[in-house]
Each structure stands twice: as structure tokens, then as C-alpha cells.
Amino acid sequence: MGKSQLVRKIESIVGKGNVLHRHTDLLVYEYDASLHRGLPDAVAFATSTDQVSQLVKLANSLGMPFLPRGSGTNLSGGTVPSHGGIVIELSRMNRILEIDEKNQRAVVEPGVYNLTLQNALAPLGYFYAPDPASQRVSTIGGNVGENSGGPLCLKYGVTTNHVLGMEVVLPDGAVVKMGGKALDQPGYDLTGVFVGSEGTLGIATKITVRIMRSPDAVKTFLAIYDSVEDAGQTVSDIIAQGIIPAALEMMDRLVIKAVEESVHAGYPLDAEAVLIIELDGLKDGMDRLAERVIEICKRNRVRNMEVAASEAQREKLWTGRRGAFGAVGRLYPSYLVNDGTVPRAQLPRVLKKVAEIGRKYNLPIGNVFHAGDGNLHPLILFDERDKQQLKLVSKASDEILQACVDVGGTISGEHGIGTEKLQAMWLLFGWKDLKAMWMVKRTFDPGNLCNPHKVLPGIETVEVSAAHAG
Amino acid sequence: MLDRKTRRLLRHALGEDNIMEGVQVKHYAVDGFQPQVVLIPRTRDHVERIVVLAHEEQLAVVPWGAGTQMGLGNPPRRVDLVVCLHHLNRITNLDPENMTITADAGIRLAMIQESLSRHGQGFLLPLDPPCGESMTLGGALSTNASGPCRLRYGTLRDMVVGIEVIIPGEVEHGGQTRAGGRTVKNVSGYDMGKLYIGSLGTLGIITEATCRILPPPEDRATVVGAFSGSEDPWRLVEALQESQLLPSCIEFYNRETASFLTTNSNVGFNSEGGAWAAVGFEGISEAVSRQIEDIERLARSDGVKEIQLLRGPREKAFWQRYGQIGFEIRKRNPWSIGLKVAVPLSAAQGMSKSIDDKLLRMDVAAYQLSRGGSGISYAHMPLSEKLYREKEKSLADMVEALREEAGDSDGASVVVEYAPPAFKEKVDVWGGVGGMLPIMERLKKEFDPQAILNPGRYVGGI
């Protein structure tokens, strides 16, 4: 089928003016927040489930790959086409369909920004627990695809713990409902396996989430350290004492500098590391809990501790932390951020290894991460226009991932496998482990058209098996 | 029939001592279907050999933990082998700093809790299903068993971070597969645990799982109140929702359940009540104390007739007894029926009333209990054979009527958790799963192409 014919067919589904097909327009959709590039054949802006279904059916009829995309803040290449095809853009499906306080649920379209949902809930006294740093711009649909975390996930869990049902357009275009406001639906937990499947099993067009009462009281600390080890040990000690803060985040010197220059939140420029520690819950006993936390920080040689005295001050601290990835753009034009996650007790050891690797390749590495759940984010800083550097960055990244796996960790805590970590999956899994996942992929998408070549390596083997099966 | 060659292969694979034949196998029947042999593997390798052999010879396999929930599911199409997993029962990794525990599937939940409580400051796996003492981890996983504290801590699908399963569809590669890992955050690959948990062993035999654990709360207590009317506890739930309180569990129950709890525990009430509520709190001492005060006040303004505060051994005994209801009823009355109704919270009170009305009209007593904050209700109906035969049609009609009322939007469901085989011929125990069934059938075909695992017992006859 010729290009103009394809465009006409798409236009007949979403309307003229809702399709991008000129090269200059498509370039904008050639990338996401990772280092991967891939040009789509067309970008279609859908505004209804029916349109999504028709677009998927069209792609099927042409044997053409397709993939969903929200804001494109994906950090592993999940929203960049690997083999061309149709990008089904969902940002215009951005309505909050229902906030149901009685049932403690909200129903949203996939293009709703995470923060938009939070802001709609806050005045009612509710919040939606998964709060990724990208929340201002990442969509709920994207959060579902990646099983996003966020600082609050230490205490409250990640996206999969808060998504209770969905309407999904399957890779053949059929529309199916999974789960809903009620709990414990019999049968295999298709909702559960869909969350975190990175857009490879279908496209969510309605999402039912759990909302929770906002906590009675919140206390936020900034703890300032002269060594990364001391900060890391503090994290281990807090958890070991049986205290589960709402959030426990760390930033090192390099990141602090970038962040402070960007938001002026009062971060100390001469500190080696800071921790943001947030406690929440009933106000009864919170002061005593806070005392215990301060005590632990002091035992680990904290230089200074500041308590956010107002909501505005608290917001500033968090704005700084959330803006960290963007802020390092002041220092270097490009970054590759790792997402290795390790058992908490291994944190100090792995941080040391990360620093060693940085020195080995002469690359600056900033650290900003969810210390409480062992989810590192080493930011390897460089200029991607320097192809030599890009090679070194890739090597450094591989070594960091290996270091995480060596201590019993995993290669991705929340940013997804996408294209970027496809081969790194072999560090964790053998073929029989991956084959079970291919069984799931084949169940949902036997034609392998839905965001192909993402998440699962070894497609060559699968295709051969299928051919042998006749 | 198991032929001589197959029996010889089994003996070769497992060893003579680990195979049970003859009259003893009748204790391992499922809905009246007795196995030909009962296998007792000692290692994962044994389990793998069984699955490979069963796949090759197309033998129907029923995995068995402690047997506490074998009543769940439709009757099997066939049973050739029962595989008992209780010898796979070690804790393979306890990592208190990372707050995870990895254990073999055949270990009893009570053993996990006991080992955790003895370690350091003590830890717990926040899982309190009925029959929690004897149930195995694998049994809890394959049925997605849960109890009152799910209100605060979620269910196993929220707790499991890594899992190992032996899959028939994988036998050419040896069968054992892993997913997830040991970290509390992990998006490497698909979340396979979500599929295996609650799958009733129809996709594979779970051999190991890694779960998140928690530090013990500083303090805990349960407040139990007797109310006059059955609507009263529901008003309490509404008041709780609007408050800042964070109960770890909210349970309502009726008079039958209350009298069951009174025997063998020390929680008797002086006043006559129509409905009871038990609300638990855990956490830092000041928070627990404040919440106890608050709930007592709320209960009083709701017209509570009597309140008791339970702590320590008394509290423990109460919840232990609470978890025994279904089991005791099934033991005493093999013709009993147990229902589980799950609806959105806003529909829960209505459904509860509907169940009450129907039971009254049928003149059938039931031990009822509700997870007040979750929209889930249980009705345990003790029945003699005579009473069952009398009421069979009305009971079947009741299930259909309840399903009609619950509707099929929103994932609502009415499940027959246990019933005599005759009842299962009349009523699909699971109810429908709508447009999802074709996907589920395809999934089953991938993982278990010969349909050897629990054939016919799952939704849609899978």
C-alpha cells in the first residue's frame, strides 16, 4: 500500500488533520526519553476506544506493526517504533471519566497526566499512590505500560498494586473488559499481567484505579551528608529498624548541584549526598517516629537535618528531586540513566561499584534514586554527538547492570526493558524463563504486531519454533 | 488406567517409597474423583519428572498442598495422579534487611510465620487466610487465599516478587521457569506471578515463591461491637471511610458466626445482637490508642449495644477461631455449601441484604461474614444430606439470582467455594468471565497443551 493510501485510510478513522505523515512531522515522534530512534510510518491521534480498535484492525489488515504512545517520556525506547508502523497517539484521550469516592476508585482515559489526576483528587482529600517523577507529563496509560513507581511506592506499592481493571483493545482489535471496581474477579489475572507489559499485549483505553484517603499528617526531612556511604547506611538502618517511611530518596553531589541551580530549593552545594525522608500517617506518634529517624541519621554522621516547615517548602524539595533528570541537562547534553534495582542492604556496595565504573571510563555519573527500595538511577552524563563516548557509555551501563545482577538485583525497577535492555534480559533469565513470557505474548498477540521487538529477546528462536510447529 | 509401563516409569522417577497406591488414595479424592496413585516428590527434580511423564502419557495431575481448599473449582474431568508437595518445605532465603523471604511451595504458612517471628525483631507475612495454620504457601498462591488483613496489606498478588513454576508446555526445556526476582521493584519481563497466583494450578506447579515481609507493628488491638440491626455495621464503614482512621481489618458477621466465635474463644457478649463488627488496628502505639478511642466513639454514635477491646492472647484466639469457620462447617457437614460474593463497596450492603432475604425465604441458616472495607462477603451454609436434597433447586436458583443482581460489569462475581459434587453439576461454580475467556483458553493451551493440570476445574471449564 502506498503512503498516501495509508494516510487516507487512517484519516477515514480519526479524521483529517489528526494524522501526521510528513517526514518533518514524523521526526518529532522518532524519539522518546531514551537514546533510541525509530521513525514511524504515520502517527494517528485517537480520541475514542472505537478509533483505537479500528486503527489496530487496519494495521492488522496491512500486516503493519503499531504501538501506543502517551507523552513519550519512556526511558527505554518503548514508545519508539522498532520497525516503523503506526503510532497510536493517546494524549487526546485525556478525560477523567469518574471519581467514585464511595468505592475508592477513579476511572480515567489513558492520556490523562498523572499529576492531573492527583490535582483532581487532592481537594477531595484523596490521592493516587503511584507518583513517578515524570508525573507532570507522563500519562496514566504510560504508567500502566511501565508499571511506574515513584517515591511513595516504598510504602504504598507501584502501579500494579493500584490498577483494578481496564478496558483494553487487544492486538487484533477486539475490545475486552478486565477487572473493574470489584475485587477478586475469577480467572487468570489478565489485568495484572498487562500492567508493566510495555504496550506489547494491547492498548488500554480505560483504566480503573484505586484512590486512597490523603494521610492525616506528613513530615518531610532533608538530611545532609558528607559521604554517600553514610547516607546509604542511614537508609539501611531506617528499614532495619522496622520504620517504613512514605518515601526515602537520595541524591549525590553532582545531581544536587544541577538541581539547586535549577530550582533554588535550598539544597546545600557542598554536600556529598542528601536524603529526602518523608513520613506520613496519623499525627499521633509521628513526632516520636520522627525522633527515631533523626536519631538514626545522627548515628550515621548526618551533618544537618532540616524539616520542611510548610507545604510550600515541602513542595520545593520535591520539585527539586523530580526535576533532577531534567536539571542535569544543564551540565551535559545527554544522559543514559540506569534503572538497576538491588536488595537494600547491597546499596552501599553497589554505589561504590558505580563510582568505580565512572572513574574507569572517565564518565561523570550522578546518582538520584529511590534509596528505600534499592532502585538506583545512575545518570551517566555525556554528549551523544561524540560517538566514541557513546560506546563507552554503553559499556559502562552494561557493567553497572551486571553489578546489580551480581548482588541478586534486577536490571529494571521501573523504567522498563523496551529496546534498551532487551539483550540485558539474558543476564537475568534463561531461554526457558523467557519462553514462558513468549507464551503470554503469543496468547495476546500471535501476529507479533503490537509494539514488536520490545521487552523479550530471542524472537528468532520463537519464530523458528512456530515454524516447526507447522 | 495407569498401565504397568507408566507405573514402572513413576517408580523409576521417584522411588518406590514415594508412591502411594491402594486404599489410601481415597483420602485424596477431589469431588469424588479418586486418583490412581498419589505421588510424594522429595525434590524439584521429582516434580519435574512427574510433569514430563504426565505430559508424555497424558495423565491428569492434581497438585496437593495441605488439602484445605480442594473443594474449590468445578469437578475435574479426570484425576490420574495427585502430587503432594509437602516435602518441598524449606525456607531457602530469609533476607530481613531486604525484607523478603523465599520459600518452597510446600511449606505451611504457619511455619513461615513462626520462623519470621523468631528472627531478630520479628517479622511477619501479612497474610491471614482461613485455615492459615495448615495451608501451604503453594495452596495459598494457587487459590489467591486471603483474610481480613487484606484491607490494609493487599493479597498475594501484591506481596510476591519472584516465583518458580514447572510448566508442562516447557517440558522440552526441562519445565522449571523463573520470573521476577528478589527485589521489591522489578519490571524485568512480564509479571508472570500475577497469572500463576489464583490460577488453581492450571498453568503449572508452583515450586517456590519470594514474598515481601514486614516488620511487626509496635502495637495492635481489635475492637468488637455488638449492634442491634444488620444495617448498623455498614453505617460504621461509611463513618470509617470519611474519617482518618486506618484499620487493618473491618469484619462484620451475623448471629450464627458470633455464636461460633463464642465457643472456644473468650469473646462472649452479654447482650443480644443482630450484627457484629470487629475492627483491627496496628501500628505505632499512639496511633493505635487514638484509633481505638475514635472507633469506640463512632460505634457509640452508631448505636452499638456493647463493645469489647481485645489485646494479646485474647485477640489472637479470636482471629484464629474466626479463620476456622468454613473448615469446621465442611468437616461437620460434608454436604455444605460456601459462597463468596465480591462487588464494588457501594453495592455490598445491598448484596448482603439480598443474601439474608433469600436465606430467610429458603429457611436455611448460614454463617455470614463480610470483609467490610473490600465489598466481599462469605456465606457458609451447613447442610445435612437431607436438607441439601430438599433445598438443592432453591440453592441453585439463589446463586443464579445473586449473579444476576451482582451483574457482570465492574468485575463483580459470585463464586461457589465449596459444595457437594451434585451441586457442581447444576451450577458453574465460578460464573462467567465474559470476553476474557478466549484469551484465558489460549493461555491454557500455551502453558498446558495436553491439559494435564487440574483439567476442567477452572473458569469456563479450563
Residue-wise pLDDT for A180-199, tens only, equals 999 999 999 999 999 999 99
Alpha-helical runs (H) found in A300-422: 311-322, 324-327, 347-361, 387-406
Return residues 188-227 of A near B (CB < 8 Å).
Answer: 188-193, 195-197, 213, 216
Partner residue facing B284 (CB), from A181, A213, A285 = A285
Interface of A with B in 286-315 (CB under 8 A): 288-289
CB B184 to CB A414 under 8 A? Answer: no
The pLDDT of residue A382 is above 50: yes
Q: Looking at CA atoms only, how far is residue A316 from chain B in angstroms? A: 26
- Give the model's confidence band at A466: pLDDT under 50 very low, under 70 low, under 90 confident, else very high: very low
Distance between B23 CA and the closest CA of chain A, angstroms: 34
Quick check: A239 and A344 in contact, CB under 8 A? yes
Q: What is the pLDDT of residues A100-128, one digit of tens each?
A: 999 999 999 999 999 999 999 999 999 99
Sequence-distant (6+) residues with CB within 8 A of B202 are B444, B447, B448, B453, B454, B457, B458, B462
Which helix or strand (DSSP H or E) is residue B72 part of? none
- CB atoms near residue B118 (< 10 Å): 9
**pLDDT band for position A469 (50/70/90)?**
very low
Q: Which of the four pLDDT bands, split at 50, 70 and 90, describes residue A90?
A: very high
Cβ within 8 Å of B, A 63-102: 100, 102
pLDDT of residue B162: 97
ipTM exceeding the 0.85 mark: yes
Structure confidence by residue, pLDDT tens digits, B336-362: 999 999 999 999 999 999 999 999 999
Give residue-wise pLDDT tens across range B6-16: 999 999 999 99
Tell me the pLDDT band of A468, cut-offs 50, 70 and 90. very low
- Please give the pLDDT value at position A305: 94
B81-84 and B37-39 as β-strands: parallel, antiparallel, unpaired? parallel
Question: In whole angstroms, what is the distance from residue B462 CA to residue B459 CA?
Answer: 6
For residue A465, pLDDT over 50 is answered with no
| pTM assigned to the model | 0.96
Q: Is A263 on the interface with B (CB under 8 A)?
A: no
Percent residues over pLDDT 70 in chain A: 98
Q: Show the cell assigned to B341.
A: 460474593
Q: Say if residue B177's pLDDT is above 60.
A: yes
Touching check for A416 and chain B: CB below 8 Å?
A: yes
Share of chain B above pLDDT 90, in %: 88
Interchain CB contact of A182 with B (< 8 Å): yes
Contacts of A342 in chain B (CB under 8 A): 183
Q: Which helix (H) or strand (E) holds A385?
A: none
pLDDT at A467 over 50: no
Q: pLDDT digit string (tens) for A331-378?
A: 899 999 999 999 988 888 999 999 999 999 999 999 998 999 999 999
pLDDT, chain B, mean? 94
The two beta strands, A247-252 and A365-369, are: antiparallel
A chain contacts of residue B440, beta-carbon cutoff 8 Å = 187-188, 190
A interface test, pick of B52, B98, B190 with most A CB neighbours within 10 Å? B190
Q: Which residues contact A374 (CB under 8 A, 6 or more apart)?
A: A341, A342, A343, A344, A346, A347, A409, A413, B98, B183, B184, B185
CA angle A104, A107, A111 (to 5 degrees): 140
Closest CA to B249 of B131, B158, B127: B127
Q: Quick one: which of B208, B186, B171, B202 has its CA closest to B93?
A: B208
